[in-house]
Structure 1
């Protein structure tokens, strides 16, 4: 597996591979890799001739400096994991390789997708996401890029960006990878205390119970029920629970059989913020 730190070296490698007629699969990550990441990499390897993974902790998508400072960094382990699945190349740029001396986000218009859910609670987050993903797409120029559905809002925003910029890249959303107890895999999970790690599966269990209430409860009643479940929990603090239409991410007022819905949740387990979502089938 090749390791690249400079844009120019990576571009030369990709150019050669494309001249040979190879398709390029790309998985952008912030490192601290787990089985969820590896499921994306394996999919990319299966469907493409060459697979490239980036590891870059992007400073412009963190709204709190302490979150950026505390983000887990496990480069040596990440490299071994990528080698174990036969990844072709990993791109590990320094911040100035991506941003130069101007570590700031571009301003994006994602047709309102950026103002829902995470956008309401994390100021500037999706401008940072758009900035780094656009930059990486320009460097790698993949045929297909793979993202997990745990960050479903991010997935929809990246699809919107590709559409609006008319980029010749297919975006594939892949299923959420979970621990055996249902907790959505996340690099942040490694920072949970033992008590909070034991409590965290309650998030997904509550989402599943809420989903079963479709048909007997309306949107408002389901939302209130979830809020009450967390009010009674001694270790987990609900930031938001929202049932939204998948395409627009607009908060649902009622269920329409012609539309697809998804429930989104953000929860604090101590200082660690966890997100999750599930598809809501209303027909």
Structure 2
């Protein structure tokens, strides 16, 4: 185990290692800490030889990206993605943001229903998840109850034919209680159109409009083009939010079309996409090179809000 600076681009968060959604209040607290010069405890990752799988510290990871950091101090252990997933089942059991209601039950179900982890004793699972053995047994009972409901109920009639009466009950239930359906028209699928040219002036040539960044500085050329395209990112962020809201509502309404989606993981991944898009949003002409292009702005001449806020005041005032 070691604690090192890990490039954010090498940290993976898509390995099924996030067991609960992000908490807005926690994100804000960590952001305030970083902006005030305080460093939170290092996140925990598992290194498999090429990627660093994050299993504890998702709030710190997303805030680091938001404020424009390229590296994050992490505690690193060697293993596999699956090792990271198992470790994530015990994350936040005694520190950090409390796990929301229902989260622990989902964690225990994942362990009990896994071919390997399901062979562990209830005591081992309980200690790893931070609960009692009795609670693990209770969750196990709910799984068995579902399995028994899905088991075939065979009946042989006078004519010698055997039928599954469970299917008859299911069909009757579906007729009496139809799940809420999602209106496909509510889910925007098309990417936003490119910005239209400005209306022609009286002379027939397109009118050239002055462009300023979000802090009021005039920009031109390729930098101005980037700021004209801010709405593209904003539209994509809106699309992500609408998709997240629509799908979560469908899951809550027990729409069977979305039964295979884990709501907590889906919400977390949507939030991750949303924050990554926000981090790509042009905010100001680069205060370090005055839009000429440098290493800080990656040669673009502009920076996002996080990088701009971290720049020295004397550079932003010039």
> Smaller-chain TM-score range?
under 0.3
Query: Which has the larger strand fraction?
Result: 1
Higher-Rg structure is 2
What is the TM-score when the length of structure 2 is the normalising length? 0.22
